[in-house]
Structure 1
Amino acid sequence: MMLEPLAMSANYAAGVVGVVAILGVLYTKSSLAGRNNIPLPPGPPARWFWSNALPAVKIAYALTDLVREYGPIVSFRQGSQVIIVIGSIEHRPYQAATDIMEKEGGSLVDRPRSIAAGEMLSRGMRILMARSGDRFRRLRKAMHTHLQPKAVEAYQAMQRENAMSFILNMLDDPKNHQKHAQRYAASVILRVTYGKSAPTANADPEVIRIHKVLDHFQVVMRPGAYLVDRVPLLRYLPGYGKQLDKWHHEELDLYRHQLQRVKNDVDQDKAAPSFTKTLLENTEEHHLSTDEMSYLAGSLFGAGAETTAVGITAAIMAAACYPLAQARVHEELDMVIGSDRAPTFKDSKSLPQLHAFLLEALRWRPIVRIGFPHRATKDIFWQGYCIPEGATVYGCHWAISRDPVAFPDPETFNPQRWLDSEGRLKDNMQFIIYGFGRRVCPGLHLANQSLYMVLALLFWSFRIAQRPDAPIDTYAFSDTVISHAAPFEIDAIPRIEVAKLKELMTDGCMD
């Protein structure tokens, strides 16, 4: 008599397992369809019911491989969350990226909910992570108003002065070229953001503190770094968010201190021109709280200090590894500038080879490899697929920059791909390194000025060479949101007589 209940129990358990399995299959099939039964883009098979999460390591490389396997847009599932990766260009240049990220920019201006980085660390005040809505519009307007092309022209003299200091540092100590790039970037953005001069920016205590909070942000921003983004209830577990809370107060205290310092200078009528000074003088127009202004200025400094230094380092690496491409830039500089004066901003339009070299360096080794996430606020239909409302959408810079249709032989460093038959920069090739649509980096004009000036002076002053005893590993980059090159050695061989070079750079720094 005891066998019957046991048999019934076994049958019941088997039935439950069967129902769960069937429901899982049905959910998987239904989750592969968007609205009106239009399917999601293809993607890797689920590992557990409907889960085929993003790769956890070497994300950019893994996504590029998946794009090659599944096509220009790839879908993933993490529980109920749909993630779409745009990583290729099909048929005509930038079709997927342009059709989705640009033409549908109004539907992708939002960010997905980010509990760890957006809410717990930044409390919704970091413009990079801000959700669409009133606060984001206020932050964006304040940032863009003071970083438009005409506005940033006011910083050109200061950028050139700091670039000349960079050349002197390279002349004295080329081994530490990456530190010199960091110093240059920090000096420029510190002046732009806070009006503060920092001739020894790398050793400036406030710069050290800002780099510390940037390191924290890199950790938190990494996809999948914090389980709370998948299990929101964890944030209410006692002690779970202790570290994030500590990091939040560290960066907020720093940003508040910087804002207060500028405010004190404004009150005493001794503040140097800066982004923060302008913010404080227009508080009624921008309708930002003190903490919102603090975060906005701090975010500008953090982004500018990191990305500009990484871009300079990528160009130095490319020059050392591709001497023939560098030689074309030297030839152009010799023809346009000569050796009696140093390059200026007025020379920019006459140096297409230099600009092509920079564009190719940032394509070859993108600064932000997977891009930042967007959130679809409505269904987006593209070539028979549906990106459903609520999906997280990445434009993967690394994968897009390796599309063989738009960039034949993409692993080869070839600046000429950016030039037409008459040697002019092509106007039909878009540059995606600064992001997409209404989320494009607001500091791009300032960054372009900095990169142009420091590289024009660098290549005018030196020939960058790879050392035979220290070959450069061009794939040795950190697996972080902003990807930093591992240390590498170069030789910086002066192209101008050293005494003359020092004189020109020193006089320029004193102007």
Structure 2
Amino acid sequence: MPQLHNLCISDNTQLVLGAAACLGVISGLPLPPSPPTWRFFGHIIPPRNPFLTVEGWINKYGPLITIRLGHVNIVIIGRYKAAVDIMENQGKSLADRPRMVAAGEIFSGGFSIGFAPFGERFRRMRRALHTHLQPKAAEAYQPLQMSHAKHTVLDILDDPYNFQNHVTTYAATIVMKVAYGKNTSTSATDPGVIEVNELIKMIIKIIRPGAYLVDSIPWLQYLPWYGRDLRRGFERNMKLNAGYMNRVKGQMQSDVDIGPSFARYMLESGHLYGLSEAEMAFLAGAFFGAGSTTTSASICTVFIAAACFPEEQAKVQTELDAVIGRHRAPTFADQQSLPRLQAFISEALRWRPVASGGFAHQTTKEVIWEKYCIPAGTIVFGNHWSISRDPEVYPEPHAFKPERWIDDQGHLRDDLKFFAYGFGRRVCPGQHVANRSIFINFVLILWAFRLALDPTQPLDDMGYMNGDVVGRPCAIEFEARIPETELRRMMHDYPEVA
């Protein structure tokens, strides 16, 4: 679920302009090596699958590289040890964001936590989010997640072709309940969901390098004729977020008990965090925007992996049959008894990381790593794709091997991780809710169905790695492993939360 813009936007959002170039190195150590380029304006980053270009550079020039976009130096981290040493162990020095005038100031009005600079205001916003996203809060959502995950099973039984829409409906429904207390199902075709997806597509385009000259020449934002599309986008953004917030406010003023939600909590307790009503509206909107899109993409990625690797899928289903059988449906209570299933999920999100290029951080002070120096004010990316293909940590990195996550005793390893939710103090605060959504959907689907690719349809196994998913990256066939009438009965008897 969320990375509320810092939380989980797609890999296309990666290489941004902003912040000052590295002007000097106090330590005397050099920047990481830079691939050669003949272009005056720096390196060429292709708009589609830029992580593949970066991976080639990392393989050739080392775990850290420096690329140049215009006058800005950007350091990209592409290996596991460097990511831990820099992004995690020195996370305080990389908790800032570069300035993004087009996306952060004009399009978002300065209200989005995703583009907020590190400081007291950012910490207040994070504290507010943690009230509804920390592990204890996430655990309380499990009955809700089970209730709606069973509808994913039933929807796939009725209409397997549109599984992507069913997953989107699940994710949007959960987020709308947590964010706004909405009790009814939120369909993938809901106008609000469509509007959010359109706005996210706009953000992805806005923060591509060179998309807007104002990121290099900030004073352009004061020209009344400049960036009209950005200002219209902000108006749409504000209208959507304020509209949902005002609906909750109206319900609170009525006699109807609307139940708890993040929006209600903010309206009742926002003064404790010193946030304006617009900031609260954008914060609640971030649940919806980032939470629904990244969660649905992650679930679909795990489904694709199951269809692409039937032998590994069969191993998980053997575990499911041994632990659960086919006479009852799995629940969260079974999670710790299913290490192979959990390993499969970890491997799927390593194999095709949803945010493959990472997210822009900015150093607040000089960072030293081995023989290199990253000066203060430098933009830094932890490139998830390259880190996930570090051969020293993930042998045969391009192979799909869930067993790499399991130790000799058959337990999940506690010495191996992948940074699916980001790094340090900018890590996704919604990770605990997201992990539970991925687990309960996958365990129910793999218990209920055998997944296979439709051989007559095209396959794009990287399709869910981009936030701007166009069309259907794949077609999956779902064959019921339990007689359909019995499966429907068990799903109708499965726990239901109003």
Q: Which segment is superposed worse, 373-382 or 499-508?
A: 499-508
Q: Which segment is superposed worse, 466-475 or 480-489?
A: 480-489
1:205 aligns with 2:191: yes
> CA shift at 1:277, angstroms?
1.6
* Counterpart for residue 119 of structure 2: 133
> CA shift at 1:477, angstroms?
5.4
Instruction: Check whether the contact 2:22–2:377 (CA below 8 A) recurs between aligned residues.
Output: no
> CA shift at 1:40, angstroms?
0.4
CA distance 1:52–1:35, change in 2 (3 Å)? farther
CA distance 1:138–1:111, change in 2 (3 Å)? same
* Structural mapping, 1:493-508, within 5 Å: 493-508=479-494
**2:186 and 2:48 mapped to 1: Cα distance?**
36
**1:292 and 1:468 mapped to 2: Cα distance?**
48
Instruction: Check whether the contact 2:201–2:467 (CA below 8 A) recurs between aligned residues.
Output: no
* Counterpart for residue 317 of structure 1: 304
CA distance 1:467–1:359, change in 2 (3 Å)? same
Deviations 1:180-238 (A, max 9, x none): 11111111111111111332522322222222222222222333322221232332344
1:144 aligns with 2:135: no
**2:489 and 2:39 mapped to 1: Cα distance?**
67
Counterpart of 1:84 (choices 75, 92, 97) is 75
Structure 1: segments with no counterpart, 5+ residues: 1-29, 89-93
CA distance 1:42–1:280, change in 2 (3 Å)? same
* Counterpart for residue 109 of structure 2: 123
> CA shift at 1:430, angstroms?
2.0
* Counterpart for residue 264 of structure 1: 250
Counterpart of 1:159 (choices 120, 135, 145) is 145
- Letter matched to residue 414 of structure 1: K
**1:186 and 1:49 mapped to 2: Cα distance?**
45
**1:325 and 1:353 mapped to 2: Cα distance?**
9
- Letter matched to residue 276 of structure 1: A
1:189 aligns with 2:198: no
CA distance 1:55–1:392, change in 2 (3 Å)? farther
**Aligned length in residues:** 476
**1:425 and 1:484 mapped to 2: Cα distance?**
35
Counterpart of 2:355 (choices 368, 373, 393) is 368
Q: Which segment is superposed worse, 419-428 or 78-87?
A: 78-87
Structure 2: segments with no counterpart, 5+ residues: 1-20
| % identical equivalent positions | 45
Counterpart of 1:221 (choices 200, 203, 207) is 207
**2:232 and 2:250 mapped to 1: Cα distance?**
27
* Counterpart for residue 59 of structure 2: 68
* Structural mapping, 1:280-299, within 5 Å: 280-299=267-286
Instruction: Check whether the contact 2:101–2:215 (CA below 8 A) recurs between aligned residues.
Output: yes
1:328 aligns with 2:319: no
CA distance 1:495–1:314, change in 2 (3 Å)? same
What secondary structure, in the 3-state scheme, does the structure 1 residue paired with 2:164 have?
helix
What secondary structure, in the 3-state scheme, does the structure 1 residue paired with 2:494 have?
helix
1:114 aligns with 2:100: yes
- Letter matched to residue 282 of structure 1: S
Work out which of the two has the higher radius of gyration on C-alpha atoms and give 1 or 2: 1
1:234 aligns with 2:220: yes
Instruction: Check whether the contact 1:162–1:509 (CA below 8 A) recurs between aligned residues.
Output: no
Instruction: Check whether the contact 1:32–1:39 (CA below 8 A) recurs between aligned residues.
Output: no
**TM-score (ref. length: structure 2):** 0.91
Counterpart of 2:456 (choices 436, 444, 469) is 469
Give RMSD over aligned pairs.
2.0
Deviations 1:241-296 (A, max 9, x none): 10000000111111011111112222335222211122222123222110000000
Larger RCO (alpha carbons 8 Å, 6+ apart): 2
* Structural mapping, 1:392-407, within 5 Å: 392-407=379-394
What secondary structure, in the 3-state scheme, does the structure 2 residue paired with 1:223 have?
coil
- Letter matched to residue 263 of structure 2: T
Instruction: Check whether the contact 2:453–2:474 (CA below 8 A) recurs between aligned residues.
Output: no
Instruction: Check whether the contact 1:477–1:486 (CA below 8 A) recurs between aligned residues.
Output: no
Instruction: Check whether the contact 1:178–1:487 (CA below 8 A) recurs between aligned residues.
Output: no
